[in-house]
Amino acid sequence: MTRVKTCPNSVSAARLFLQVAAQRTSPPRFFDIFLPDSTIRYFATTNNAPATRRQLSTGVVPIAQQQQQQRHHGFSPRRRQHHHHHLPPAPPPTPTLEAILPLVAGRRQFSVTAAARANETKTLHNPQVDEHGNEMRLEITPRAAKRLSEIMIKDKNPQLALRIQVESGGCHGFQYLMRLVTLPPTLPSATAEPEEASSEGEQQSIVGEDDTIFYYDQGSADPLAEPKIILDQPSLELLKGSKVDFTMELIGSQFKIVDNPLATSSCGCGTSFDVKI
């Protein structure tokens, strides 16, 4: 019988299987040589299960091991808190130019219209019309109204008025005549007789049947206390559409008729004019 010699240091197949089965880690990779041994030992002592070189080299560490590391360093896992960020309320929309312009235009139009209504010439007594049915009017300028108001205050005579009369003569055929008169406290009606009276030598004006009175509206409750002008019908027919102005020049200050649509020529002093026939 032939005897088989065996090596006393040889490993049996069963023992070799047990050694292979006991290995829990995968064989090291090529990049594991770049990790120092101190790093491997640190994670091995921190975690219950030692971290492999493969996990450390790839940066992939199990979540359980990460939680153990956090507890070891004093951090405890908390539930993720959902913070509801409340946004501040949106500011009111900025008004656009298209929305503002109608408001501004409306206010401006209202103020201009109100001012125009308060500062305009109105008929106080006996309005008259021409052959076309249009009212004949004579406008009082703001300067003329201001000067008349100053005279009324100075003389303490609220019934003061400027009478304007057109007569034939002068260097251009017609001339203006102006003088200050005092109107009665109450104006006569259309059917009343004209008033003729005087007191202590002071001539009181006569409001004739064909006289028309205009006043400059400054917002007073009594139109008779406003600046006024008075003229008869023939004079109004020659001066309709013109203006009564007050001018201050080197030769003196005076009331003048300006912008007469019927005048074709006038003299330098402005007291004489010619009209279209």
Residue 12 banded pLDDT, cuts 50, 70, 90? low
HSE-CB of 74 using CA atoms within 13 angstroms: 0
Residue 102 banded pLDDT, cuts 50, 70, 90? low
Residue ranges per structural domain of the chain: 28-72, 121-275
Average pLDDT over the chain reads 72
pTM (global) more than 0.75: no
Residue 122 banded pLDDT, cuts 50, 70, 90? very high
- CA angle 139–142–146, rounded 5-degree value: 120
Q: What pLDDT is attached to residue 112?
A: 47
> Do the bridges between strand 174-182 and strand 272-275 make them parallel or antiparallel, or are there none, so unpaired?
antiparallel
Q: Tell me how far apart the alpha carbons of residues 97 and 223 are, in angstroms, rounded to a whole number.
A: 43
The pLDDT tens digits for 49-60 are 555 555 545 555
Residue 165 banded pLDDT, cuts 50, 70, 90? very high
Q: What pLDDT is attached to residue 263?
A: 77
Q: Selecting from 1.20.1250.20, 2.60.120.380, 2.60.300.12, 3.20.20.70, what CATH number does the domain 121-275 have?
A: 2.60.300.12
The pLDDT tens digits for 195-225 are 554 444 344 447 888 999 999 999 888 999 9
Q: Which of 234, 231, 233 is nearest to 244 (CA)?
A: 231
Token representation of residue 203: 């001539």
Residues in the chain: 277
> Do the bridges between strand 174-182 and strand 160-168 make them parallel or antiparallel, or are there none, so unpaired?
antiparallel
